[in-house]
Amino acid sequence: MALKTLNIIGAGRVGRSLAHLWHKQGVFAVQDVLTRSQASADEAVQFIGTGRAVTQLSDMRAADVWMLAVPDGQIQNVVFDLSSEIENKAVASVFIDSYAIIFHCSGALSSAELQPLKSIEDRGLQVASAHCILSFSAPSSAVTQFAGTPCALEGDAAATQMLQLAFEAIGANCFDIAEKDKVLYHAAAVFATNFLPVLQVVAADLWQSTGMPKDLIAPLNASLLQKAVQNIAAQGAAKALTGPAARGDTELVALQGAAVADWHAEAGTAYAALSELASQIAKNGSIRK
Ligand SMILES: NC(=O)c1ccc[n+]([C@@H]2O[C@H](COP(=O)([O-])OP(=O)(O)OC[C@H]3O[C@@H](n4cnc5c(N)ncnc54)[C@H](OP(=O)(O)O)[C@@H]3O)[C@@H](O)[C@H]2O)c1
């Protein structure tokens, strides 16, 4: 059986990485790859290893599957442009084939973002969202780190079933997420990974402002982080918790909180909020009420 064709709109970190893996595993025949600039589309095709670089929606051919890997704030714009493109075609429905699947990669947004396309294209179009819980900081490392990545699927059943097979073929662990839970689900991913670099930068800036030799800071941060990760993996996060708030040293927490707030207002707010959470976790093992 011929491979399903895949068109890609937005081929930055996520688009390139997934398309590269699908091409390598022979899951999809990657067809047209659209970004905003020709240079970026050419680069994406080079990284993926196949495909045709385009910058105009009107140049894209019909495909079985469409992946939108544009930033979240651009999804509505792309849906609008796609809708106009479909409506403007002299022969209806050549842009998106019958029973095509279209999905986006956002963690917080749901497949509802794509619903407007269904009302225009009444030919069995299936919509979904597929979010892989990995920091795709650079495609070259993301493709080596991808195996074992959990992937949250949500949307029309025919779309999520097909996507489950496609994501599992490149090593993802798929699970279903309800549309109503996506925003909070994604907030959890922000806590789990996105805030770690923030905390590291705050610590480095604070250390620097106290006169610690600059060349000590990066290795110290890396070493503390590595040991914390080892402890969390070995004991579980709640048991690995240390520090003044976890010990119930409220005087020191207050003193330190005030000093941090003097140094940087938002860092002070974060210190107070995180200290309160640390104290709840130390008492209850969790922050659930
Ligand atoms: N990065 C992560 O760790 C991560 C993890 C999981 C899910 N996601 C989700 O994946 C999606 C993509 O994120 P990303 O990090 O891959 O973004 P990215 O690296 O910034 O790449 C975005 C791509 O979209 C293109 N683009 C932007 N606006 C466009 C438009 N209006 N029309 C067509 N193409 C457009 C850009 O083109 P140019 O190259 O020409 O600028 C670029 O190729 C988002 O929904 C994000 O929430 C991200």
* pLDDT tens digits, 48-64: 999 999 999 989 988 99
As a whole-number percent, the residues of the chain with pLDDT over 70 amount to: 95
Contact 217, 208 (CB under 8 A): yes
Q: Could you count the other beta carbons within 10 Å of the beta carbon of residue 111?
A: 24
CA atoms of 52 and 135, how far apart (whole Å): 26
Check whether 93 has a pLDDT greater than 60. no
120 Cβ contact partners less than 8 Å away, ≥ 6 residues apart? 83, 86, 87
Query: Which two tokens mark 273?
Result: 């909020």
Q: What's the CA gap between 159 and 68, in Å, rounded?
A: 14
Query: Which of 29, 9, 12, 10 lies closest to 166 in space, CA to CA?
Result: 29
Quick one: tokens of 215? 């060349």
Q: Is 23 in the pocket of ligand 1 (CB under 6 A)?
A: no
Other C-beta atoms closer than 10 Å to the C-beta of 230 total: 11
Ligand 1 nearest-atom number relative to CA 132: 6
For residue 172, the model assigns a pLDDT of 98
pLDDT at position 92 over 50: no
32-91 residue pLDDT tens: 999 999 999 999 999 999 999 999 998 998 899 999 999 999 999 999 998 888 777 644
Residue 13 CB less than 6 A away from ligand 1? yes
Q: Which residues pair with 233 in a beta bridge?
A: none
C-alpha to C-alpha distances, 56 to 36, 71, 289, nearest whole angstrom: 8, 18, 51
Taking only the tens place, the pLDDT of each residue in 187-244 is: 999 999 999 999 999 999 999 999 999 999 999 999 999 999 999 999 999 999 999 9
> Is the Cβ–Cβ distance between 103 and 127 less than 8 Å?
yes
pLDDT digits (tens, 9 = 90+) for 136-190: 999 999 999 999 999 999 999 999 999 999 999 999 999 999 999 999 999 999 9
pLDDT, position 91: 40
The amino acid at residue 185 is: Y
Residue 89 Cα to ligand 1 middle (Å): 27
Q: Is the CB of 106 under 6 A from ligand 1?
A: yes
Does the pTM of the predicted model rise above 0.95? no
The answer to whether the beta carbons of residues 130 and 103 sit under 8 Å apart is yes
Question: What pLDDT is recorded for position 84?
Answer: 85
Determine which residue's CA is closest to atom 25 belonging to ligand 1: 10
Index of the ligand 1 atom closest to the CA of residue 135: 3
Dihedral of alpha carbons 140, 52, 37, 121, sign: negative
**Kind of pairing between the strands at 173-176 and 126-132:** unpaired
Pick from 25, 45, 22, 24: nearest CA to 35: 45
Q: Is 151 in the pocket of ligand 1 (CB under 6 A)?
A: no
